[in-house]
């Protein structure tokens, strides 16, 4: 891993500001995908749709990262990515020779963007290779797996973050601010939906429990869990849940629609819905002196919001993934806070497991003892 001190980083940041104003990066250009003293090299592991259409283009818009390597099981992708992003031959890996990244100083961060069942394995191997880790959501298949990832990163003294792009979005910061400053009074009720109608190949990995760990809840439900928590500013103390199935011939192996109700420490109540067979993309927070809402609340943006004061919540649109990767780079380089630490991914997995447990027990309330685990203000 290249050695960057806080001083060289901040000095080159200043120079970079001048230099970057002379560049006009375009989507197809890899001029902004060049190494420099103030940038960390990121290796994308798994070149599926999220890496291809969101993460790699976002890396061209980051200030402190660049795409330095790829890991793919598809040989044909190597040449395409090499040309598009100006990668060198010694920065292309497959799943078998992945561990040899330990010898590549151009890789500072490994970003695991594989089906959920492969997250733990590749995150742990990346940590053992001495690389910082970003693990896509949901963090893993179980709480036990989350613990093994967190431990591997601790043992190898590397930083860990979960691919929770919303944690870097200005709309999320605004929601957290309203809650913290009680702009609309005390929160009484939070409602959150994260759902879409799934179609296409019924054999896709997201509908295969062995690869995904679960259906809508694992895929979209973690967003509803996240927004419910930052909509209240605290972790829930209990959850009760219900599952609905209307297309069992398509959703053979995984959950289709789930609703869940939360209780929070100061008496706030939450209601969430997640589905692979309905649309929903909303956070609404009712307080004793008004309300605020985001709709859409979880998509790649632009996010849109409004309040009971008749005001629009509006920020310039930036790629959330670029903001997210820059936040993590600054955490590594400058020691700023980790906005989506491993403990946050683990906390959400505890809630996911409690929701499945409640459904298995016909909606029985599950007590949660989370304290402040994963809360980042």
Interface with ligand NAD by CB under 6 A: which residues?
Answer: 46-51, 73, 113-116, 136-137, 163, 165, 205, 211, 219
How many CB atoms sit inside 10 A of residue 17's CB? Answer: 10
φ, ψ of residue 325 to 5 degrees: the values are -70, -35
Q: How far apart are CA 366 and CA 241, in angstroms?
A: 9
Quick one: 165 or 282, whose CB is closer to ligand NAD? 165
Quick one: 46 or 270, whose CB is closer to ligand NAD? 46
Nearest to 342 by CA among 139, 145, 176: 139
Quick one: 351 or 368, whose CB is closer to ligand NAD? 351
- Smallest gap from Cβ 375 to ligand NAD, in A, equals 20
- Smallest gap from Cβ 178 to ligand NAD, in A, equals 24
- The CA dihedral of 139, 74, 36, 165, to the nearest 10 degrees, is -30
- Smallest gap from Cβ 96 to ligand NAD, in A, equals 12
Verify whether residue 250 is a known catalytic residue. Answer: no
Of 39, 106, 131, 137, catalytic: 137
C-beta separation of 296 from 281 below 8 A:
yes
Break the chain down into helix, strand, coil percent, rounded to 5.
40, 20, 40
Verify whether residue 137 is a known catalytic residue. Answer: yes
Nearest to 298 by CA among 115, 164, 152, 119: 164
Q: How far apart are CA 10 and CA 333, in angstroms?
A: 9
Structure tokens at 79: 């040449």
Quick one: 219 or 257, whose CB is closer to ligand NAD? 219
Quick one: 163 or 341, whose CB is closer to ligand NAD? 163
Q: Quick check: helix, strand or coil at residue 169?
A: coil
Of 85, 171, 178, 223, catalytic: 223
- Smallest gap from Cβ 303 to ligand NAD, in A, equals 13
Quick one: 4 or 141, whose CB is closer to ligand NAD? 141
- Smallest gap from Cβ 285 to ligand NAD, in A, equals 22
- Smallest gap from Cβ 11 to ligand NAD, in A, equals 33
Which residues on neighbouring strands pair with residue 304, listed in sequence order?
Answer: none
Closest-CB residue for ligand NAD? 48
Q: E strands of the chain, at which residues?
A: 40-45, 65-71, 92-93, 109-112, 132-135, 160-162, 187-197, 238-244, 257-263, 269-275, 277-287, 290-294, 305-307, 312-313, 366-367
C-beta separation of 108 from 2 below 8 A:
yes
Question: Looking at the annotation, which residues are catalytic?
Answer: 137, 223
């Amino acid at each position: 891993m290249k050695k960057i001190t806080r001083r060289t980083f901040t000095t080159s940041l200043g120079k970079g500001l001048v230099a970057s104003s002379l560049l006009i990066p375009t989507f197809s250009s890899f001029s902004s995908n060049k190494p420099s003293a103030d940038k960390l090299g990121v290796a994308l592991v798994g070149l599926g749709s999220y890496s291809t259409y969101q993460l790699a283009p976002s890396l061209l818009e980051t200030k402190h990262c660049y795409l330095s390597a790829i890991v793919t099981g598809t040989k044909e992708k190597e040449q395409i990515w090499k040309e598009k992003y100006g990668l060198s031959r010694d920065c292309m890996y497959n799943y078998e020779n992945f561990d040899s990244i330990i010898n590549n100083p151009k890789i500072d961060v490994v970003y695991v963007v594989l089906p959920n069942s492969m997250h733990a394995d590749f995150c742990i191997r990346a940590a053992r290779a001495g690389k910082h880790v970003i693990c896509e959501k949901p963090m893993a298949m179980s709480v036990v797996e989350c613990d093994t990832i967190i431990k591997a990163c601790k043992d190898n003294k590397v930083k860990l973050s979960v691919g929770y792009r919303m944690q870097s979005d200005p709309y999320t910061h605004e929601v957290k601010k309203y809650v913290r400053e009680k702009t609309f009074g005390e929160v009484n009720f939070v409602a959150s939906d994260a759902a879409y109608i799934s179609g296409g190949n019924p054999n896709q990995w997201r509908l295969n429990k062995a690869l995904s760990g679960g259906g809508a809840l694992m895929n979209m439900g973690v967003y509803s869990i996240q927004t419910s928590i930052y909509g209240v500013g605290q972790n829930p103390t209990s959850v009760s849940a219900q599952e609905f199935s209307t297309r069992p011939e398509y959703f053979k192996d995984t959950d289709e629609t789930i609703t869940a109700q939360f209780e929070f420490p100061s008496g706030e109540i939450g209601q969430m819905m997640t589905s692979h067979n309905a649309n929903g993309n909303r956070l609404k927070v009712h307080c004793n002196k008004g309300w605020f809402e985001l709709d859409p609340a979880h998509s790649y943006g632009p996010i849109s919001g409004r309040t009971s004061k008749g005001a629009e919540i509006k920020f310039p649109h930036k790629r959330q993934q670029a903001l997210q990767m820059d936040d993590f780079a600054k955490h590594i380089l400058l020691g700023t806070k980790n906005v989506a630490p491993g403990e946050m991914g683990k906390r959400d997995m505890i809630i996911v497991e409690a929701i499945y447990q409640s459904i298995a027990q016909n909606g029985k309330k599950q007590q949660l003892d989370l304290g402040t685990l994963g809360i980042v203000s």
